[in-house]
Amino acid sequence: MPQDDPIALLQAGAARHAEGQWTKAEWLYRQVLKRRPQDPNAHNLLGVLARQRGDAAGALRHTERALAASPEEPVFLANRGAALAEAGRLAEAVIAFRAALARRPEDPVTLRNLGQALCGLGDPAAALPPLAQAAALLPEAPEPRLALAHARREAGDAAGAAAAAGEALARAASQPALAEQARFLLAALGGGPAPGRAPAAYVRDLFDQFAPRFEAELTGRLDYRTPALLAGLLERAGLAPARRLRVLDLGCGTGLSGAALAGFARRLEGLDLSPRMLAEARRRGLYDALHEADLLDWLPRHPGGFDVVAAADVLNYLGDLAPALAAIHGALAPGGVAAFSLEAGVGAPFALGAAMRFRHDAGHVAGLAEAAGFAVLAQEAAVLRQEKGAPVEGLLFVLRRD
C-alpha cells in the first residue's frame, strides 16, 4: 500500500474493519484524516466504528463531520440515523432514516432500522411497511423477517407474527442464535413449547437497544417500583441498611436497583448481559465492580462471596428457576440472603407470556427455593410497574441460605 495514498489507506481500513480488527481499522482511518482532515468517508467509517463500540457521542460527531462535507449522501444520512438510534434519540433517527431512504429507497438495512426505530417509539403499525419491504428485498435473510415478526406481535397481529417468525426460522439454518430467537418468539405466541429461558442474545440485544431510554421510560411512564419494593422487603425481613454487607446486584441494568440496594452494601457489585446497560451503570459511579456475563455462567464460578444477592426484574427472563436458585445459593455465604422479583402466574410452574417474559407460580417458586436449600423469609405480591396502561402483577421473595 502506498503509505501516503488516502484512498489506499481508506480501503485498507475498511478491509480491517470488515475482518473485525477495529483498532487497526481506526488507526488507518485516522491516517487518512491526517492527510485529508475533512475526508467524509473516513469520518463516516470512524462513526460506524464508534457506534459498534457503543460510543454514541463519537458516532454522532463523526457522521456529522461526514455530512458536513456531503449532506446528500444517503449512506451518511443512514449512519447518522443509526447513531441517533444508538443514542436513544429515536424520533430524530426516524427523520434521518427517511431522508436516507428518500435518496436510496431500496436499502434493506435502513428500512429495517427505520422499522425498529418506529417500534421503539411505540408505533409498530408504522413499522410494518418498511419491515415488509426489507424482508421482500432480502428474500433469503432471516433478520428482517424476525424484526417484522416482532413488529406484528407488538401491533397485535399474533398470526402474522407467527408466520413471519416461522419464515425467519426456516431461513436461519446457519445462524443458530437467530433460530433460537425465532423459536422463542414462536413459543411466546403459543406456537411451540416454552424453553427454559429467554435466549441470551435476545436479552442482550433488547437491553442494548433500550439502554439509553431505559431509566426515563421505566421511572416515568412505566412507574417502575421493583427496586424500592425489594429494598423495603429486605428491611422488613430483618436486614439493616447499615452499609455492612457484600451485595451482588444480578441483572443490574443501568443501576436503578443498585441505587436501592446501596444502603445495605459495604461492597456493591453488579452483573449484566448487556454491555450498553453496564455502560450506563458505570456512569452512575455506584458499583465497586461490574461484570458483563450471564448470571447462570458467572455465579457458579464465584462461590460463597456474597451476603446478599438481589435480582430486580431479571429472573422473569428465565422460565425454569431451579438452575438460577442453585447458582444464587452457591454464591451466597452461609446465612446470606437472596431477594428477587418475578411476574405472577397461576397454575403452571412457569409460562411464557406474549410480552416475551416468563410468569411464575408463587407456590412452585417457594417449593423450588426450599429444595435448593433456602428458607423463605418473606414473600409478597405487589404491582411492579405499568405496561400498556395495565399493572404488571408481581411476586417478591426474600430467602435465606440455610
- Chain residues binding ligand SAM by CB under 6 A are 203, 207, 226-227, 251-253, 256-257, 271-274, 277, 294-296, 312-314, 317
Residue closer to ligand SAM, measured from CB, 107 or 313: 313
Sign (positive/negative) of CA torsion 59, 65, 67, 73?
A: negative
CB atoms within 10 A of CB 124: 20
Residue closer to ligand SAM, measured from CB, 201 or 296: 296
Residue closer to ligand SAM, measured from CB, 26 or 280: 280
Q: Which of 296, 353, 294, 292 is nearest to 322 (CA)?
A: 296
CB of 307 to ligand SAM, least distance (A): 18
Residue closer to ligand SAM, measured from CB, 66 or 332: 332
- Separation of alpha carbons 125 and 167, rounded Å: 20
Residue closer to ligand SAM, measured from CB, 203 or 399: 203
- The letter for the amino acid at 282 is R
CB of 93 to ligand SAM, least distance (A): 22
- Separation of alpha carbons 258 and 267, rounded Å: 11
Cβ neighbours of residue 142 closer than 8 Å, sequence gap 6 or more: 167, 168, 169, 171, 172, 175, 178, 179, 182
Residue closer to ligand SAM, measured from CB, 166 or 253: 253
CB of 302 to ligand SAM, least distance (A): 13
CB of 376 to ligand SAM, least distance (A): 21
Residue nearest to ligand SAM (CB): 253
For residue 373, give Cα distances in angstroms to 116, 157, 284, 303, 322.
44, 44, 35, 15, 11
CB of 155 to ligand SAM, least distance (A): 23
Q: Which three cell numbers stand for residue 66?
A: 461526514
Q: What angle do CA 49, 288, 51 make, to 5 degrees?
A: 10
- The letter for the amino acid at 283 is R
CB of 65 to ligand SAM, least distance (A): 32
- The letter for the amino acid at 173 is A
- Separation of alpha carbons 48 and 127, rounded Å: 24
Q: Is 263 helix (H, G, I), strand (E, B) or coil?
A: helix
CB of 312 to ligand SAM, least distance (A): 4
Residue closer to ligand SAM, measured from CB, 192 or 253: 253
- Separation of alpha carbons 128 and 113, rounded Å: 12
